[in-house]
Chains A and B, each alone.
Chain A
Amino acid sequence: MTAALSIQNLEKTYDNGFRALKGISFEVQPGDFFALLGPNGAGKSTTIGIICSLVRKTGGSVSIFGIDIDSNFPAAKQMLGVVPQEFNFSQFEKVYDIVCTQGGFYGMPRNLAEERTEKYLKQLGLWDKRNVQARMLSGGMKRRLMIARALIHEPRLLILDEPTAGVDIELRRSMWTFLEEINRQGTTIILTTHYLEEAESLCRNIAIIDKGDIVENTSIKSLLKTLSREVFILDTANTLEDCPDLGDFDGRLLDEHSLEVTVEKGQSLTDLFTSLAAQEITVTSMRNRANRLEELFVSLLADERDAEGDEQ
């Protein structure tokens, strides 16, 4: 099957000599919901910039649904929609005009562009704001406006660079629902985000980039399986004065109604609950101390830093 996005040995060295990408390779399959993660300055936005032609690569190749951007960029662009990190629309244009005009840039007849503008502005809750200048919108509305604009030509591959940055939790969740729906309808989605909870709940596959190199490229499930330990917070109905006997588990008392317990790979939570039940301690709720992907992300990057330190 032809990959929705194929990146091979992609390199970028800026004019000032900074190597933003050091020959990265990865593929995204059609229909995937793919996360591209990495710390600030890792090379995520440079990669996206190259894919959508705003940054010129200095080596390697990029293909979108089998079309090499060097051989037929216009055809590749027809299949691509991009929601950038920064607002990049005219602040003085009306919401409707921004979206509808973008359709024209993709060669869409006016009536079709108008039809789609109405469809996406309604789906993204912006129809009531269609005659408002973009500068009057809230931050969340501006992000949704950029999503509507990126979807106007109904691309097969949609890339979102931190689409939920600065968006409140309610709106973020509604955007997740919207993105999941268009992914279900067949649009391949690539997402960069700093909210790892977002990547864990939405994405199936992941690439982690750091300092211009890919340090991990796998499915989220396989990645989570590599977790060697998880730390849980247990809330108890009983008032605890000391940390109860946790058997083989490491743990500590956080306050009189909560315990922090470390569960190593191979240990069973059933044993923990049996032990607590024997001491007549009732657990009312339980949660991970930190997002699981976040823990992995931090440890992967830490390993990378250690490896660099060893080499030096």
Chain B
Amino acid sequence: MNTDAIWTSFSTILRREVRRFTRIWPQTLVPPVITMSLYFVIFGSLIGSRIGQMGGFSYMEFVVPGLIMMAVITNSYSNVASSFYSAKFQRNVEELLVSPTPNWIIMAGYVLGGVARGLIVGFVVTLIALFFTNLTVQHIGLTVSIVFLAAVLFSLAGFINAIYANSFDDISIIPTFVLTPLTYLGGVFYSIELLSPFFQGLSKLNPVLYMVNAFRYGVLGVSDINVFWAFVGVLVFIALLSAWGLHLMSHGKRLRH
């Protein structure tokens, strides 16, 4: 395929992915918005007003960046995991496999589809957050970069999960038992400075902590960790997961017999 054909193929996959999650918007776009609104009301407004300051900011200001990042991460992941697994389940993934579209374009198309949903949900959640607090972004470039890279990373993870999955249960196990604990323990609701040195050290093994804090640094200008290492870590994980995903595709893992 020449460059134009490859671009056409990529944009076709991306368009189909966006069409899919916008067609079923009551399942894909509304629930995260409602959930995050409840977090804002309960944790930010009702409970947060009694907590006082966290990291030098009101609790609502502190928790908003983490909640936006949480919405982006979970939606990017679940979009690719459910879309690619559904394509396997209904066998319409064969439409792509029999075509000349290269494996890396198939993966990139699905991943960017997940990124698109993550960013749209993140944007809507940000708009809702403005009803509860004033958001003044300190480092716009850094904020946009880290949210985009986090969405790419978790879309890739969702893609790999979908390749291995043999049932719809298999695409809910990782979000329930891995992603949710990592997110909740990743500094979304608290600063790790509140923890004992041992648990601070343990928390630093959690990749979500780096993304949440890098995003919080972009918005508020404060972070529990070194933002440079957050970017390095995310880029390394993206490289590793991309290589893993392409390896699975080229060997036809659970896609070709």
Q: Once bound together, how far apart are the Cα atoms of A87 and B99, in whole Å?
A: 17
What chain B residues lie within 8 Å of A52 (beta carbons)? 98
Contact at B12–A104, with CB atoms within 8 Å? Answer: yes
Stretch from B2-10, B28-36, B180-188 forming part of the interface with A: B2-10
What chain A residues lie within 8 Å of B4 (beta carbons)? 107
What is the distance, in angstroms, from A234's C-beta to the closest C-beta of chain B?
49
B196 at the interface (CB under 8 A from A): no
Known contacts being A104-B8, A107-B1, is A88 close to B256, with CB within 8 Å? no
* Chain A 39-64: CB-based contact to B (< 8 A → 1; otherwise 0): 00000000001001111100000000
Q: Once bound together, how far apart are the Cα atoms of A45 and B102, in whole Å?
A: 24
Interface centre among A54, A89, A102, A108 (most CB of B within 10 A): A54
* Chain B 1-28: CB-based contact to A (< 8 A → 1; otherwise 0): 1101110110111011001000100000
B91 at the interface (CB under 8 A from A): yes
What chain B residues lie within 8 Å of A53 (beta carbons)? 97-98, 256
Partner of B90, one of A54, A55, A82, A88: A88
What chain B residues lie within 8 Å of A107 (beta carbons)? 1-2, 4-6, 8-9, 100-101
A230 at the interface (CB under 8 A from B): no
Give the nearest-CB partner of B2 in chain A: A107
* Chain A 80-112: CB-based contact to B (< 8 A → 1; otherwise 0): 101010111111110001000110111111100
What chain A residues lie within 8 Å of B9 (beta carbons)? 104-107
Contact at A54–B98, with CB atoms within 8 Å? Answer: yes
What chain B residues lie within 8 Å of A49 (beta carbons)? 257
What chain A residues lie within 8 Å of B91 (beta carbons)? 86-88
What is the distance, in angstroms, from A76's C-beta to the closest C-beta of chain B?
9
Known contacts being A97-B19, A101-B16, is A78 close to B94, with CB within 8 Å? no
* Chain A 218-260: CB-based contact to B (< 8 A → 1; otherwise 0): 0000000000000000000000000000000000000000000
Contact at A88–B8, with CB atoms within 8 Å? Answer: no
B38 at the interface (CB under 8 A from A): no
Give the nearest-CB partner of A20 in chain B: B257
What chain B residues lie within 8 Å of A89 (beta carbons)? 90, 92, 95
Contact at B95–A56, with CB atoms within 8 Å? Answer: no
Interface residues in B228-257 by Cβ distance below 8 A to A read 252, 256-257
B205 at the interface (CB under 8 A from A): no
Q: Once bound together, how far apart are the Cα atoms of A97 and B92, in whole Å?
A: 13
What is the distance, in angstroms, from B162's C-beta to the closest C-beta of chain A?
15
What chain A residues lie within 8 Å of B100 (beta carbons)? 73-75, 77-78, 106-107
What chain A residues lie within 8 Å of B98 (beta carbons)? 52-54, 77, 80, 82
Provide the main secondary structure of the chain B interface.
helix
Interface residues in B76-104 by Cβ distance below 8 A to A read 86-87, 90-92, 94-102
Contact at A106–B256, with CB atoms within 8 Å? Answer: no
What is the distance, in angstroms, from A135's C-beta to the closest C-beta of chain B?
10
Give the nearest-CB partner of B3 in chain A: A107
A14 at the interface (CB under 8 A from B): yes
What chain A residues lie within 8 Å of B257 (beta carbons)? 14, 49, 54-56
A149 at the interface (CB under 8 A from B): yes
Known contacts being A107-B4, A107-B6, A109-B8, is A88 close to B99, with CB within 8 Å? no
Q: Once bound together, how far apart are the Cα atoms of A101 and B11, in whole Å?
A: 10
Partner of B94, one of A80, A84, A92, A109: A84
Contact at A105–B90, with CB atoms within 8 Å? Answer: no
Give the nearest-CB partner of A56 in chain B: B256
Contact at B12–A105, with CB atoms within 8 Å? Answer: yes
What chain A residues lie within 8 Å of B6 (beta carbons)? 107
Contact at A105–B99, with CB atoms within 8 Å? Answer: yes
Q: List 25 A-B contacts (CB under 8 A).
A: A52-B98, A53-B97, A54-B98, A55-B256, A77-B99, A78-B100, A80-B98, A86-B91, A88-B94, A89-B90, A97-B16, A101-B15, A104-B9, A104-B12, A104-B13, A105-B12, A105-B13, A105-B95, A106-B5, A107-B1, A107-B2, A107-B4, A107-B9, A107-B100, A110-B8
**Top 10 closest A-B pairs, CB basis?**
A107-B5, A104-B12, A74-B100, A88-B91, A105-B99, A77-B100, A90-B92, A52-B98, A88-B94, A55-B257
